[in-house]
């Protein structure tokens, strides 16, 4: 009886290991964008998405202007995290201001100027 339990325990352990390896292989790999954002050499700027603003509109403006960004939670705020060189800051600010104004056209939503998190 003891031998049967030992074989059964070994079989269950082996099945668990095989199942774990299967799950690891099924997990999605990190996207190139995710890899780029995690690289410490990549310079990013965080912009807090104002209450009532649609992050999709802001992302669309970024994409059209050639910037790469994604919506992420930074601390307690929902931010647009954008890869941007220091020399591109003014252009990024202009893109976000234009996207905000087009998104709020015809609504009561009044958004202020674009202020990045490192400027607060």
Which tens digits make up the pLDDT trace of 78-117?
A: 999 998 888 999 999 999 988 877 755 555 555 667 888 8
pLDDT digits (tens, 9 = 90+) for 29-49: 656 666 666 777 778 899 988
> How many structural domains is the chain composed of?
2
Is the domain of 4 the same as that of 38? Answer: no
Decide: pTM greater than 0.75: no
Is the domain of 99 the same as that of 60? Answer: yes
pLDDT-derived band at 15, boundaries 50, 70, 90: confident
Cβ contacts of 81 within 8 Å, gap of 6 or more: 37, 44, 45, 46, 69, 70, 71, 72, 74
Is the domain of 26 the same as that of 38? Answer: no
pLDDT at 71 over 60: yes
- Find the CATH number of the domain harbouring 98: 3.30.70.240
Q: What integer pLDDT is reported at residue 70 of this predicted model?
A: 87
Q: Which domain holds residue 51?
A: 32-119
The owner of tokens 């669309």 is 60
Is the domain of 74 the same as that of 107? Answer: yes
Is the domain of 25 the same as that of 40? Answer: no
């Amino acid at each position: 009886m003891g031998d049967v339990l030992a074989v059964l325990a070994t079989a269950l352990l082996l099945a668990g290991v095989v199942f774990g390896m299967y799950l690891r292989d099924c997990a999605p790999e990190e996207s190139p964008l995710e890899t780029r954002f995690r690289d410490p050499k990549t310079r990013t700027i965080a912009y807090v998405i104002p209450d009532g603003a649609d992050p999709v509109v802001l992302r669309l403006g970024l994409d059209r202007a050639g910037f790469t960004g994604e919506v992420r939670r930074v601390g307690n705020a929902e931010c647009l995290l954008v890869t941007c060189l220091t020399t591109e800051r003014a252009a990024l600010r202009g893109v976000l201001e234009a996207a905000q104004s087009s998104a709020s056209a015809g609504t009561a939503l009044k958004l202020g100027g674009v202020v990045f998190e490192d400027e607060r």
